[in-house]
Amino acid sequence: MLASDRACTQYRHRKECDAAGDDDSGADRFATSAGVDGVALESAAKSKLAGLLAERLRPDGIYVGEIVIDGTIKGSPFASATAIDPAEVANRLWAMAAARTETRTRITEASSTDSGIV
């Protein structure tokens, strides 16, 4: 872990760090203001790698998929009151692996105004 990325280990930044590698100016602004540039680069590179591997390996019948967890997970040390149920992650992973059509998906921690899945 880079020294500048230690902010992601603190609860107040955990959810935002998951999306720091997103390709948008809001994520870039967050990453630089929170000092988590390294996490943002790692996340963006991981996502690109998943996409490249999915395209390269699909003709060989090998499935590659990525689930972005945008929030905290129930039962984890930093879980919030609106944390994502681990069963939801498992169900989404199973559905993706069975269908083999979706390369990327995101599960977002519920707030009072959304369903928790994007």
The pLDDT tens digits of the residues spanning 9-61 come to 443 444 556 567 777 787 788 888 888 888 888 888 999 999 999 999 999 99
In a domain, 113, yes or no: no
Examine residue 114 and state whether it is found in any structural domain, yes or no: no
The reply to whether 75 falls in a domain is yes
9: number of CA atoms within 13 Å, CB side? 6
Determine, yes or no, domain membership for 49.
yes
Instruction: Read off the pTM.
Output: 0.69
Phi, psi at 69, each rounded to 5°: -95, 105
Q: Does residue 81 sit within a domain? A: yes
Number of domains forming the structure of the chain:
1
Q: Does residue 39 contact residue 8 with C-beta atoms inside 8 Å?
A: yes
Domain annotation covers residue 27 = yes
Give the whole-angstrom CA distance, residue 47 versus residue 53.
10
Residue range of the domain that includes 68: 3-108
pLDDT tens for each residue of 66-94: 998 888 899 999 889 999 999 999 999 99
Identify the CA nearest to 44 among candidates 17, 15, 4. 17
